[in-house]
Structure 1
């Protein structure tokens, strides 16, 4: 029977799984597979598994329940193994790595931050502060017939936007990273200029959240900050 693997925990973890069921249209009860000092939390895997909302929520519910009672190494959605013996072999093979990572993550949670800035505000700022961009814009508005001017202005603005996005992201990460044990930077998507996860210890949680709120206040209403957490430490497993 193929098994679906949710997470890895220490053998000393309470393993309170009552009331939780696994992924799939006909979910089965959760169980554990032990190898020395480690347990893997698993269930029977459905014949076909797709990232439906129901299954994503079931996967996340397991991580949150385990996280409430102790340290957990949350695995990404969709990980399966041929059977319990294969899970046990994987735990034994990576035993030292998993034990060390559980130690490193003890008393920590992940906080995921995305940020965007109002592009109209940013464009006005560029035109105000860049004499070259301002001159190109004035020439275009004055009716200069050169077809190269709009392209030149577009390229200049794109470069300025990218540079300012990078500078803003670096400044925010620097301001918050001193209150975190680690950070994991991902490529921003959509209109965001920042996509970063922080591993924050319980002893620094309040000061981290205070610092994030301070940044929101300092940077102003043209910024859109979205902070999610505490979360299982997916980015740091």
Structure 2
């Protein structure tokens, strides 16, 4: 019997020896590693120097927007942004907190970096919906019931809030239960619900107790509103009642389903 041919012997040897070994990846040379490490250090150092040490990215101006009563100088001086400081080092949160703390008229504020040289301060001021008399001055109250500023004159079109809580009994009990701040918030809720046409002529909101709040309008007209509950319904009823009895002097919407008017 003939033995294996030369070709067959070669195939058997290849099978027994297995596939040729894969080439191992060449390790990066030490020189390459050193160069990359130095480049990374230089890049990081350059970035730090650019942000903190260079003269190019520093605060040169502070812009203020959104003010109505506050002056630009008031906001800038209170913000106390250090001119010439690296822009990246400015603590926007701290500036915002300082502005809200020292200028209570500010409702919200947003401080942003305006690269490469500016800081932007966007202010939203509180809007008074009522004022409280304080001696010869007036304390402004916003729609959250926050007393935020004292001014020498009441802003035009803003009603005066009169706390007339002097009687014992129910009024005193309401004062103990809700406190002055609570009653002020009730008056603020009512101010928000007064129909626009009526709000334009409202001069005073008088609070005698939690559920005994009235409006004094121009021309000597009055409105018994009651509490702040069912405000939208009372507003609709008052509008209809005034149309139905335009010459009336007093309107009662304490129970909006059973309104009344009187006087002429």
Q: TM-score, normalised by structure 1?
A: 0.22
Select the structure of larger CA radius of gyration: 2
Higher helix share: 1
Q: TM-score, normalised by structure 2?
A: 0.21
